Amino acid sequence: MALRHVRQLRSARSARPVPAGGGGENRGGRRARLLRRPRPARAARRLRPVRRLGLAVAGALTATCALVAAPGVATAAPDGPTAPTSGDREARYGSYVALGDSYVSGPLIPLMRLDPAGCFRSTANYPALLARALRIPSYTDMSCGGADTTHMTRPQSVPLGSNRPQLDPLTRQTDLVTLSIGGNDFGIFGELTEVCPGLRPGDPTGNPCQRRYTVDGVDTLIDHAQQVSARVSTILRTIHERAPRAHVVLVGYPRIAPPQGSCPDVLPFADGDLRWLDAVERALNTSMAEAAERDGDTQYVDTYGVSLGHDACAPGSRAWIQGKDIDPLAAAHYHPRRSAMEGVAGQVFNALTAAARSGAE
């Protein structure tokens, strides 16, 4: 597992963000053909939004819900990664469906959508930025805060409404699907963010939370993260059945904790638990990467490696992840900021255009 992670990290470091005016252009109007079986990425890691996200940020919703977008065709944000500007560029995709949890939906990143409001879906999340960069004429964003793998095929009850099963919009015409899911399964992320900070005062330099979740010598949260792989594999099979033409991209989660050091004012975890939080996230991302590899027809995109130096402890605007305090005009606590969405969109854009170039050769 460690060797796979090193390989993935090296690969991720070589990726560049989406260029402001280009990248992946297909000149001469020639339509690029994406590989149906891209080379699967090897290990990585991450984790996911708070189980009771709706209750945690519902009070801040009124400060940021300023735009209503139709659920069928969403509108990309006014800025962020931009598409190539050549007038003869032909869009690679005509129908894009985005799936996932709050690390996709982007709670409290302005401007918020209201369809439904309880999903905390931003008009500047990475699907919106990616759709604009690729000039996709139609895309459907089904992501929703608090979602787990069961909500791909079942409706999700959220504050002020319900989100229909996320796979519902998939059809034979769908030609691009992105998915980030798994951190809410088994309550992984909720357990970490709701329990661990409260244990720090009693043992600030130790690992009280890891000890709490170690039962009979088994680290239960890492075990649960490993079990996510089978659940994601099932979802991938269903996606292929419903959208057989689609290029499917499984997107990992960006880094939350730093590789060393601590920042208790931002991430109030005991020192040892901060390293453990990172280990759980890496186990989850590895689990997802392995699901994509088994599937053989899904492209895995790492965002953990490229977010090195952009964890929640990073200074100022370098941080991609919000810390323990909600910023009602920027991000929910322990969730991505706008900068993270731009970084993730850039990684996915680069992966898709690289696959297109390989497929056209």
Higher pLDDT, 332 or 4: 332
Neighbours of 339 (CB within 10 A): 20
Calpha distance 183→146 (Å, rounded): 9
Q: If you average pLDDT over residues 173-188, what whole number do you get?
A: 98
Residue 360: pLDDT band by 50, 70, 90 thresholds? Answer: low
Phi/psi of residue 179, each to 5°? Answer: -145, 130
The beta-strand segments (E) located in 14-116 are 96-100
The 10s digit of each residue's pLDDT in 91-112 is 489 999 999 999 999 999 999 9
**DSSP H helical ranges for the chain:** 2-13, 53-57, 61-64, 102-105, 126-133, 188-199, 208-212, 220-242, 271-295, 338-360
- Token pair of 289, please? 């990467």
HSE, side-chain direction, 13 A CA sphere, residue 28: 2
Count Cα neighbours of 243 within 13 Å in the Cβ-side half-sphere.
25
Tell me the two tokens of residue 45: 């890691």
Classify the phi-psi angles of 169: left when phi > 0, otherwise alpha if psi is within -120 to 50, otherwise beta.
Answer: alpha
Report in angstroms the alpha-carbon separations of 254 from 12, 44, 50, 147, 185.
11, 10, 15, 17, 17
Sign of dihedral through CA atoms 293, 298, 303, 305? positive
With tokens 């962020």, the residue in question is 80
Q: Which residue has the higher pLDDT, 8 or 238?
A: 238
Instruction: State whether the Cα torsion 236-75-329-18 is positive or negative.
Output: positive
Handedness of CA 128, 73, 68, 154 (dihedral sign): negative
- List beta partners, residue 214: 219
Question: CA–CA separation, 2 vs 43, rounded Å?
Answer: 8
Chain centre to alpha carbon of residue 4 = 20
Mean pLDDT of 216-222: 98
Q: What is the pLDDT of residues 184-214, one digit of tens each?
A: 999 999 999 999 999 999 999 999 999 999 9
Cβ atoms of 293 and 35 closer than 8 Å: no
SS3 for 360?
A: helix
Place of tokens 């992105």: 178
Which pLDDT tens digit goes with each residue over 266-275? 999 999 999 9
